[in-house]
Amino acid sequence: MIEPIIRLENVWKIYRLDKTEVPALRGLNLEIYPGAFVSIMGPSGSGKSTFLNMIGCLDLPTKGKVFLKGRDISQLSEKELAQLRGKTIGFVFQEFNILSNLSALENVTLPMIFQGVPAKQREEKAKKILESVGLANRIFHRAIELSGGERQRVAIARAFANDPEVVVADEPTGNLDSQMGKKIMEILKNFHKNYQKTIVVVTHNFEIASYAEKIIQIRDGRVIS
């Protein structure tokens, strides 16, 4: 029987502002299976980003449990959590989050350095991934010299650099025009098809969400459909 790669059990996240408690997630239950392509949809303030932080192991729940590959993340040390996250999850952010003074190639090799991949292997792999996202002729350009769409493609290449099992994309088309947004989603769709990765895209845009095989809608910190 296939186990879910990500499982949330009655997850609550409550933020405290002065003496006020603000629940961002209210008893979320969810399972995501290996190889799924899922979109998480909801308006601003619905809890999407908090949910993303949970499945990306960037934050811990106030109540409830989050399991990644069967391991309860709240039981792991910071070092164990960082190792599990580094090997299992790749991230793509709305703001690209790549280093502007490094070349496209250097940005993509960076996560591999932290996983101890030898230099020659890092470079070969980074070139191959950058070619697969259509940046073969921009490999040595610094990020600052690239357009928004090109930077997001570098970010996607970096997310896949360590061959993660899960790629989490937070509003990956939010800073791009609609044509480039579609191109980015086609790239993610191709990675899903060719490498059978689990992909989770967080968006408020139905057109973007519809690239996924399954859409989960969140409102007020709860799954509504």
**7 domain residue, yes or no:** no
pLDDT band for position 1 (cuts 50, 70, 90): confident
Mean pLDDT, the chain, as a whole number? 91
pLDDT higher than 90, residue 157 = yes
The predicted pLDDT at position 137 comes to 94
- CATH number for the domain spanning 181: value is 3.40.50.300
**22 domain residue, yes or no:** no
**127 domain residue, yes or no:** yes
Instruction: Give the number of other CB atoms < 10 A from CB of residue 207.
Output: 12
Secondary structure of 128-171 as H, E, C letters? HHHHHCCCHHHCCCEHHHCCHHHHHHHHHHHHCCCCCCEEEEEC
**132 domain residue, yes or no:** yes
The predicted pLDDT at position 215 comes to 95
For 209, the domain range is 34-60+78-217
* Distance of alpha carbon 17 from alpha carbon 38, whole angstroms: 32
pLDDT band for position 63 (cuts 50, 70, 90): very high
Total number of domains constituting the chain: 1
**102 domain residue, yes or no:** yes
**20 domain residue, yes or no:** no
pLDDT band for position 214 (cuts 50, 70, 90): very high
pLDDT tens readout for residues 26-40: 999 999 999 999 999
**71 domain residue, yes or no:** no
